[in-house]
Structure 1
Amino acid sequence: MTTSPRVAVLAGGLTHERDVSLRSGRRVAEALRTSGLEVSVHDIDADLIPALVALRPDVVWPIVHGPTGEDGAVSHVVELLGLRLVGSGPHEARVAWNKPVAKAVLERAGVHTPAYATLPHTLFRELGATSVLDAIVARLGLPLVVKPSRGGSALGVSWVTTADELPRAMVECFAYGDIALVERAVTGTEVAVSVVDLGDGPLALPAVEIVTDGPYDYDARYNAGRTEYFAPARLTPDEAAAVAGVALRVHHELGLSRLSRSDLILRPDGVVEFIEVNVAPGMTETSLLPQAAEAAGYELPALYRALVEASL
């Protein structure tokens, strides 16, 4: 390993989360440069592969949110070029990206997750929307959360409190993907627990508690003022240990590498419910992993450099 690795940060792409990815990529690149590394930033376009072939960076850090980034596609291309990655490999990323598949894997491992149904758009045309939606409510009850089976940043996510709201929620969900995940709504303390591996094994950073006036949607996530964060979360030592343990279990059972962020809900009875996991966490000024890192006492440039060096 060289004393100053060359890092290629990938950000952007043609997804609904392009702007967030660009903001995340810029902040990581700035932090890595502050730590003394040589960094270049690349969009996901026709110039990417020629640029990586010419540059031959020591490591590539994909910070691409949404399809092609979090689904492992870009990581697979990086591996095909014989380059190292910061983060999970393509196969593990693909499982984590598919929310119903990740939930099924974790359920088998004993991790609690809300009851759910996975419904493709074509099923509504074939069976009739009314009958399908009636069956969902009869089985899962109300309230419900409707979300795309693959996606992030709460795009296409709706909280449904009455049966009359469900059809519109499904329409909004299908605008972002052709498969909907409908799950029983769980109430409690909403937390995000980030996991990093700096070479000595996965470590859970302090949980970040999320408090919003209304749903934790796209606007609440990326526009300062709508959401209040507590880092570390206002949990007892036992509660903090419980949510950290679930995040580490998720990271292990899904075979993830270097960094991940699990979104969890701590129910009033102490049960931790897994909601979803992100293998390319946001790195913007309001994102949760940077908040957790700072709560743990890390300087971001040093932490990001350590992730790069561990990946080498």
Structure 2
Amino acid sequence: MVETETVESQIRGYLDHLVVERGASTHTLAAYRRDLDRYRRHLDAAGVTDLGAVSEAHVEDFRAALSTADPEAGRRALAPSSVARALAAVRGLHRFSTRDGATPVDAAAAVSPPSPPRRLPKAVPVDRMIAMIEAAGGTETDTEPARLRDRAMLELLYASGARAAELIGLDVDDLDGLDRPEGGAVILRGKGGKERIVPLGRPACEAVNAYLVRARPALAVKGGPALFLNARGGRLSRQTLWNVVSAAARRAGLAPDVSPHSFRHSFATHLLDGGADIRVVQELLGHSSVTTTQVYTLVTVDTLREVWAECHPRAR
């Protein structure tokens, strides 16, 4: 007979598994913890206190509850993408529990997440991207160290296609060859701790060098290896990076929804527009599957279609 465990203890074991064996990031772990705590409360309300007693109907009810608003309880309906993320956490928990021998049956195996609407990445046009980079740290109240840091961050984001977490997680030793005429390189650590080396062009190298020589020493009051520092000398936060991007976008006259990830989208789209092979772009982005990268080809096809529609004499 298979022994059962409480839902709470099994969730703790699963989260430990994600950290130790899967190398989950702090951000991913926090999201899973929130979703699974919501699931635990849902099971508590149904009188279920151990995973061995969970049925497929319980999981289906949870998925339905996430998609349904409850004004009296002050609960809003989640977007399909948020429901899919929460259900992925639940499915992972049950799969882990079954493989670990804690439950005899995977109650969530047959419950499929909703299919979120496919949204194409928004790429910033090249000229607007350059204007945004040049607008970084452009206010009179910004100190020189902050201006140089912000310019270096945006140059590096666009040059490397780094995720926000990868950029703020950089250490000084992750950079190489910034003084070489042909450009340097940066080591990025992606999801699951996977490393990749991405080349950097001269604009990014010069901006980062200027920051390292003229700005970082003034910010590095605490010491430490972090590349990008805040005013207190600590590693820069995701929120600060977001604020820097939003401010630069606003000064460049771009829409307010431009985010650090917009730089990653633009990096990939502009490479493909320039004729880069999709497999090369896959490696540069750190995607484990080329299928993930293929969404950017849809963007470039749309661009080609617009140009064709405007320029071909038989387009209309």
**Fold match (TM-score > 0.5):** no
TM-score normalised by structure 1 residue count? 0.29
User: Is the radius of gyration larger for structure 1 or structure 2?
Assistant: 2
- Structure having the higher strand fraction is 1
TM-score normalised by structure 2 residue count? 0.29
- Structure having the higher helix fraction is 2
